[in-house]
Structure 1
């Protein structure tokens, strides 16, 4: 993928990722104890949908645009995501789109903590400006995969790690697998969300098979496709691998994702919620 996120902010893949992310945060908030959120590839936190980049592609119109147009019929599982979108659009409408850091910041409580990692120097500066008055948030100019070793386990001993690389490199699936394996050695009770694009099915199937070679606990797959995955030169869908998902998240996703698929692609949309690994240990 030729990727600078400002071009793609608010597209269908963002909607899938952030709707699930917001739902996970709400599950984490059901316990009183604070949680930590580690974002390995944070970007700039929020995006102007009136920017030259966003207007050049217009991808948000078939993503968040469709969702907001149908929001009156949305299931309650979408409510946390809509709250995060509204937080950056206080006047109504959709002038801005929240990236992952902003989604979590909008929903997290005063005692929760966010660690945002970004390697691009301009993006780091923008993140620091955006969150400079939020004492819950630390911005780190560092490689996100390295942070999986240096920042885990968190002192809170509870929380979520989002591994969401830009997929500019051919070996990104392998890097994600390696990063997760290293992280699990340090913090095997953590909740991990690994986002990936879906073009052809075969690379995704191989990625899932490789993950099954790690000694993982319960692991869930959540995907939304807007087109069949048989044309490998286009983005057909997006998925998340969820390690140690919260209790009953699978049931919530079985309501949320079909609605998203129908809304984002009424004629060709589909979704998948499936256990990659059924587990042994207790819930979070």
Structure 2
């Protein structure tokens, strides 16, 4: 049950999509004077080392955040299309030591870059990827945007990640504003809805390491919307060759439509999902080819921000001609 560790995946292309969307949401939702309760049901460790054993073993950050800051931004790809020839980048250690100009990035991507720069002062100063060493999980991103009136509830079941999360949050010195508990986020969410100030954002980002996570998430969101219809509910999901994965966004859309709530679904594909073989004839699995973010009750600004950012993500992160994006909304 506890085999999944996000440290292996920190900074991958799914994190780029997830955290760009999360930052846009947090910026908008914290503009109002009314207190906001943010609930992160599967918080992970909160903070990760990009030069640590886990990340270097998987190499996923190379095709995510490092690729993002390595490739110059060519003219934006047409909606749903990848650049004609997305090149394979060299490892960071061999990359050209020239920082990439991010001034032409979409505002949402620039905000994402700024969050990373704040955590990595040397990277902010030089722009060199060798100085990009710390990567924030969703808890650190969420906390960064809170005002003194807001609250953050973090839940994590994995014993090692919970211990890391608690230690990382303690170092922030934010006191009671952030609560950390080793609880099942699916189950504990219901106890916090509706929130006292009647404003909440919920991020639900489970590992999906067991098939039942898909059904549990759909049921959890249905219960949450029933308890507190006006909350903003944010779900990350993988796009993989599994029926449950393909059914999940459809179920969330049905839930939102039946409840009369607005919804938005953004998906980013960076490569083909087909199996290939190497020079020895061994089958090579592609890893995670795509992922999505489904938002119930999204801010009215989110669609426009992602419309500008997603084509650039395809340009910068696309690995083959199958790369592309979709952006749907309703309500």
Question: Fold-level match, TM-score > 0.5?
Answer: yes
Maintained 8 Å contact 2:46/2:136: yes
CA contact (8 A) 2:12 2:60 kept: yes
The aligned residue for residue 209 of structure 2 is 168
Partner in structure 2 of residue 64 of structure 1 = 65
Is the CA contact 2:240–2:246 (under 8 Å) kept in the aligned structure 1? no
Which of 257, 260, 270 is equivalent to 2:324? 270
Q: Which moved more, 1:106-115 or 1:6-15?
A: 106-115
Query: 1:230 offset after TM fit, Å?
Result: 5.4
Q: CA deviation at 1:58?
A: 1.7
Q: Unpaired runs of 5+ in structure 2?
A: 71-99, 124-130, 276-284
In the other structure, the counterpart of 1:96 is 134
> Pick from 116, 129, 134: which aligns with 2:174?
134
Contact 1:84–1:107 (Cα < 8 Å) also in 2: no
Q: Which residue of the partner structure matches residue 18 of structure 1? A: 19
1:83 aligned partner? 114
- Structure 2 partner of 1:112: 150
What is the Cα deviation at residue 80 of structure 1? 2.4
CA distance in 2, matches of 1:208, 1:75: 26
Aligned length: 277
Residue by residue over 1:92-121, the C-alpha shift from the partner in whole angstroms, topping out at 9 and shown as x without a partner, is 231011000011112222322111001122
What residue number does 2:104 align with?
A: 73
In 2, Cα distance between equivalents of 1:146 and 1:103: 24
SS for the counterpart of 2:153 is strand
> 1:204–1:123: structure 2 CA closer, same or farther, 3 Å change rule?
closer
User: TM-score, normalised to structure 1's length?
Assistant: 0.91
2 CA distance for matches of 1:210 and 1:195? Answer: 14
Instruction: Report if the CA contact (8 A) 2:253-2:263 is conserved.
Output: no
Higher relative contact order (CA 8 A, sep 6+): 2
- Contact in 2 for aligned 1:12/1:264 (Cα 8 Å): yes
Distance 1:13 1:101 in 2: 16
1:221 and 1:239 in contact (8 A); partners too: yes
Question: Secondary structure of 2:149's match?
Answer: coil
Per-residue deviation at 1:250?
0.8
Measured in 2, the distance between the counterparts of 1:261 and 1:81 equals 16
- When structure 1 is superposed on structure 2, of 10-19 and 60-69 the one drifting more is 60-69
Supply the RMSD in Å over aligned alpha carbons. 2.0
